[in-house]
Amino acid sequence: MPPADAPDTAQERRDALKRVYARTQSCTRCPELASTRKSVVFGSGNADADLMFVGEAPGANEDEQGVPFVGQAGKLLDKLLGEIDLVRADVFVLNVLKCRPPNNRDPLPLEIENCKDYLYEQVSLIEPKVICTLGNFATKLLRDDTTGITKLHGQPELLALGRRMVRLYPIFHPAAALYTPRMLQTLRDDFVRLPDLLAMPAPEQPEWLNPPEPEEQPDAEPGLDAQDAASEADQLGLF
């Protein structure tokens, strides 16, 4: 049961997602990333998707365009989606970090910590049935455990994330499969199981996961107000 004051309809959840979008656009929780980024890459796709993909962090192309997975790894992701009859607009794609780490260095623990509330809010509002973590960073963060992707890939598990129970499905990061045919085959083998996972009933949402809705965060100042954010997200065609 969702809390009484939770956004209810898909449209209300999408509007609430735009308010989260607005807050991320002026985020300065990580001063280094805030001063080096060109864009805050919120995520894109279907705001009511059953399937969500969580990558690591934007790279140079994503930082430039403000959209996740638009480089080579993104092209592979699109190809694999096509092989199971899905397109980007069917799913929601986002990253553990919303800002590009300089020179594509690894995300720092504090940066992951600073950014993770946004991810949980996105999960709460989009309500995916299945979350596919791409590679080690996303898998370790969401499972809150150091077990690596080599051990875990292709094994679905039920997991409480923020305020939602989801089916987590760790798979290799497409960037890792770009130049390693054996890894690409493993990624493909894991990918083809997605339709069966999506056909399973949505995980039950236990009451203990739904404490009263927290106060919605005010817009950060200076920042986009919710109206500007709504039009910006629409103009960019993000979700």
Can you give the binding site for ligand URA, defined by CB under 6 A?
55-59, 62, 68-69, 71, 73, 95, 175
φ, ψ at 134 (rounded to 5°) = -105, 100
Measured from the CB atom, the residue of 53 and 229 that comes closer to ligand URA is 53
**Coil, helix or strand for 188?**
helix
CB 29 within 8 A of CB 134: no
Provide, rounded to whole angstroms, the least separation between the CB of residue 116 and ligand URA. Answer: 15
The Cα–Cα gap between 165 and 161 comes to 6
Measured from the CB atom, the residue of 16 and 171 that comes closer to ligand URA is 171
Provide, rounded to whole angstroms, the least separation between the CB of residue 214 and ligand URA. Answer: 28
Place of tokens 């190809």: 79
Measured from the CB atom, the residue of 56 and 127 that comes closer to ligand URA is 56
Provide, rounded to whole angstroms, the least separation between the CB of residue 60 and ligand URA. Answer: 9
List of E strands, the chain: 44-45, 51-55, 92-95, 130-134, 157-161, 164-171
Measured from the CB atom, the residue of 57 and 81 that comes closer to ligand URA is 57
- DSSP string across 142-200: HHTS---HHHHTT--EEEEETTEEEEEEEE--HHHHTT-HHHHHHHHHHHTTHHHHHHS
Provide, rounded to whole angstroms, the least separation between the CB of residue 192 and ligand URA. Answer: 22
Measured from the CB atom, the residue of 93 and 166 that comes closer to ligand URA is 93
Residue 24: other Cβ atoms inside 10 A: 22
Provide, rounded to whole angstroms, the least separation between the CB of residue 93 and ligand URA. Answer: 8
Provide, rounded to whole angstroms, the least separation between the CB of residue 205 and ligand URA. Answer: 28
The Cα–Cα gap between 6 and 8 comes to 6
Which residue number has the CB closest to ligand URA? 55
Measured from the CB atom, the residue of 135 and 156 that comes closer to ligand URA is 135
